Amino acid sequence: MIAFPLRTVFSILVAASLLVIVVWVSPPSPFSASSVSSSSVGRLDIWSIRRLVEWRPCKWWLEGHLTALPAETNGYIRVDCYGGLNQMRRDFCDGVGIARLLNATLVLPKFEVAAYWNESSGFADVFDVDYFIEKMNGFVKVVKELPADIASLEPFRVDCSKRKGQFDYVESVLPSLLEHHFISITPAMSQRRDRYPLHAKAALCQGCYSALRLTGALESKGFELLEAIPKPFLSLHLRFEPDMVAYSQCEYSGLSRHSMEAIDAARGDRKPWTGELARVWRNRGKCPLTPKETSFVLQALSIPTNTNIYLASGDGLMEIEGLTSVYTNVYTKSALLSGEDFTSMHGNTKAALDYYVSINSDSYVATYFGNMDKMVAAMRAVNGLYKTLFLSRRAFAQFTAEGLTGTELKKALWEAHQHDFSHGIGSALPDCFCEFNL
């Protein structure tokens, strides 16, 4: 046996200990095999980062902060909803709070019939009406049908585009409700719910997160779809459709001729930003990630390339090969459902299935921060599911603008995301949630 001086032995032990510590705390190399394999034993992935706080439903809402409903109603309110399913859902949820604020009876909402969204389904085609009315008992009055004396009337339209807070509605909308007895509203996008009395907040939270359940037929179809996806799986909400890119006013290089033609056709008079404006716009995180960029970010976060991924997205997704050439276990509703089932569905019902699968998935990743992403993040928080992540378009744009590529870019993306996966913060109707320290 070879004998070493005591000082040499001590130096070797210190060096070995430091090496172990460095290996343990360092994120995996984005290009190493272990960083993308399904058996990254001892390696960190994005879901392994210890969280310090969680956002959960507030106790005052869960415990039922109810103020008795007045015996007499001030009239009837119908919420007119426009856009995609989750935008309409958000507007309707706000409408529930406004109805309680004004002591109004809520009429079932009107969903826009829009050819643009391939849409003709209404509220009752997507949500269980009887369940909604039952769950809202004591929070706000809801009726399926109007009294005979006003059933034949069109509601008086009240412009709520600048009505955002409690006193706006009490001072400007309530007089119209008292005068006409039946009004219709579309809530403004930026509501000041923080100043609502608790009974109005509770009605809004109850309506959005407890009372809105899909119809039996849609829940059954959603469960069938959920069962068909190999487990465990990640639900990925990917937004790179022609209209989305055209609306963003962003320029992309390296896209196929077919994609460029589709984007140009969707642009109309809306032209992309150029020069310095384009650089500033992109660095603000305004440009949707391409499927190829999404694939790169997922690898940077050590999401294994053999992960089962359900693609929650609309029709017309472009450049999908940029994702599927790397992540090969990708599943879509069009492939998992029978052709007849799928072709008979409209925009709202397809979106409802994506929503159902996403709130029940093992993990959820969004490349955007739209209404569906906020709703899904919130519902996952309600259900205690916190593997929810919004990819940072801003970080990706800024790092690539700095010239980072390859391993350096992946390491920078890891650092940008490791403390940033969602705990309910920024979700739809955040006033329903409170911070809990872990």
What pLDDT digit, counting tens, does each position of 263-299 carry?
999 998 888 999 999 999 999 999 999 999 999 999 9
How large a percentage of the chain has pLDDT more than 70?
84
Q: Is the pLDDT of residue 15 over 60?
A: no
Least confident residue range of 37-46, 71-80, 331-340: 37-46
Least confident residue range of 40-49, 158-167, 170-179, 220-229: 40-49
DSSP 289: P
Q: Is the pLDDT of residue 107 over 90?
A: yes
pLDDT value, residue 347:
78
Q: Is the pLDDT of residue 315 over 80?
A: no
Q: How high does pLDDT run on average in the chain?
A: 84
Calculate the dihedral angle through the C-alpha atoms of 373, 379, 383, 387, rounding to the nearest 10 degrees: 10
Q: Is the peptide bond before 57 cis (omega within 30 degrees of 0)?
A: no
Cβ proximity of 205 and 61 under 8 Å: yes
Cβ proximity of 272 and 255 under 8 Å: no
Taking residues 165-184, report their average pLDDT: 92
How large a percentage of the chain has pLDDT more than 90?
58
- Residue 3 burial (10 A CB sphere; 0-12, 13-18, 19+): exposed
pLDDT value, residue 41:
35
DSSP 388: E
pLDDT value, residue 205:
92
**CA distance to 178, 242, 307, per residue, from 246 (Å):** 44, 6, 31
* Cα gap 54→384, rounded to integer Å: 9
* Cα gap 352→220, rounded to integer Å: 12
pLDDT value, residue 104:
97
> Nearest CA to 395 among 285, 314, 234, 310?
285
* Cα gap 8→281, rounded to integer Å: 58
User: Which has the higher per-residue pLDDT, 7 or 101?
Assistant: 101
Residue 20 pLDDT level (bands cut at 50, 70, 90): very low
Q: Considering the entire predicted model, what is its pTM?
A: 0.85
Least confident residue range of 57-61, 186-190, 337-341: 337-341
Q: Is the pLDDT of residue 42 over 90?
A: no
pLDDT value, residue 12:
39
pLDDT value, residue 366:
94
pLDDT value, residue 60:
82
* Cα gap 241→87, rounded to integer Å: 18
Residue 252 pLDDT level (bands cut at 50, 70, 90): very high
Calculate the dihedral angle through the C-alpha atoms of 391, 393, 397, 399, rounding to the nearest 10 degrees: -30
For 436, phi and psi rounded to 5 degrees? Answer: -120, 125
Q: Which two tokens stand for residue 255?
A: 């896209």
Place of tokens 């569906």: 372
Task: Say how far residue 188 (Cα) sits from the centre of its chain.
Answer: 19
Buried b (16+ CB within 10 A) or exposed e, 417-436: beebbbbbeebbbebbbeee
Cβ proximity of 73 and 143 under 8 Å: no
Taking residues 67-86, report their average pLDDT: 92
State which H helix or E strand residue 194 sits in: none
Q: Is the pLDDT of residue 391 over 70?
A: yes
Angle (CA) 249-369-168 rounded to 5° is 95
State which H helix or E strand residue 435 sits in: strand 433-437
- Of the CA atoms within 13 Å of residue 90, those in its CB half-sphere come to 23
pLDDT in tens, 196-209: 888 999 999 999 99
Helix, strand, or coil (residue 203): helix
Q: Is the pLDDT of residue 51 over 60?
A: yes
Highest mean pLDDT among 26-35, 48-57, 161-170, 310-319: 310-319
DSSP 162: T
Residue 421 pLDDT level (bands cut at 50, 70, 90): low
Buried b (16+ CB within 10 A) or exposed e, 164-174: bbbebbeeebb
**Cross-strand bridge partners of residue 309:** 234, 330
* Cα gap 135→218, rounded to integer Å: 19
pLDDT value, residue 419:
67
pLDDT value, residue 29:
31
